[in-house]
């Protein structure tokens, strides 16, 4: 029972969410046109670009994305609303032209509650454990 209540407390908090997208770029100019147009729709949906490019350094494993995008949204529902919105679905055709028809790899993931990382000097309090998920991993918030 303790696990369920911990998970419920975690889900009840509104937390920033991140839309993480990996693209396999084949046609840079087509993708650039898409990115110019999609920016206004992302911002209108409450999104804020945090990462958009391919200037990275591999740290561990064999992951070499051609392009990585991370967009911050107010919550996970905002990510889903944006993704399924008419403007995004319409622009998706342009994105697919820039990736030679290869679909994006994309996930939405919840961030850690802001209040748990900003209390005290330089976030000294840090995130708290809320319980465990279905796989037995700790849920932080």
Q: Which tens digit of pLDDT belongs to each residue from 79-102?
A: 999 999 999 999 998 899 889 999
Which CATH number goes with the domain that contains 27? 3.30.70.100
pLDDT at 139 over 70: yes
Q: Is residue 135 part of a domain?
A: no
Separation between Cα atoms, residue 33 and residue 46, nearest integer Å: 21
Q: Is residue 121 part of a domain?
A: no
Q: Is residue 48 part of a domain?
A: yes
Q: Is residue 98 part of a domain?
A: yes
Structure tokens at 110: 């919840």
pLDDT at 22 over 60: yes
Q: Is residue 132 part of a domain?
A: no
Q: Is residue 123 part of a domain?
A: no
Query: What pLDDT sits at residue 16?
Result: 94
* 40 φ/ψ angles, rounded to the nearest 5 degrees: -65, -35
Q: Write the DSSP string, 29-73.
A: HHHHHHHHHHHHHHHHTT-EEEEEES-----SSS---SEEEEEEE
Query: What pLDDT sits at residue 110?
Result: 92
Q: Is residue 127 part of a domain?
A: no
> Which domain range does residue 107 map to?
12-56+64-113
Q: Is residue 52 part of a domain?
A: yes
- Count of domains forming the chain: 1
* 12 φ/ψ angles, rounded to the nearest 5 degrees: -70, -20
């Amino acid at each position: 029972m303790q696990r369920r209540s911990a998970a419920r407390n975690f889900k009840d908090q509104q937390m920033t969410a991140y839309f993480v997208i990996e693209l396999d770029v084949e046609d840079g100019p087509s993708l650039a046109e898409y990115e110019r147009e999609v920016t206004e729709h992302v911002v209108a949906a409450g999104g804020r670009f945090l990462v958009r490019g391919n200037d990275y350094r591999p740290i561990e494993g064999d992951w070499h994305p051609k392009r990585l995008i991370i967009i911050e949204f107010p919550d996970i529902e905002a990510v889903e609303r944006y993704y399924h919105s008419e403007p995004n679905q319409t622009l998706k055709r342009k994105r697919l032209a820039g990736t030679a028809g290869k679909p994006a790899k994309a996930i939405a993931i919840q961030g850690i509650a802001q209040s748990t990382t900003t209390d005290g000097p330089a976030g000294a309090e840090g995130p708290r454990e809320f319980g465990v998920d279905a796989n037995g991993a700790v849920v932080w918030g």
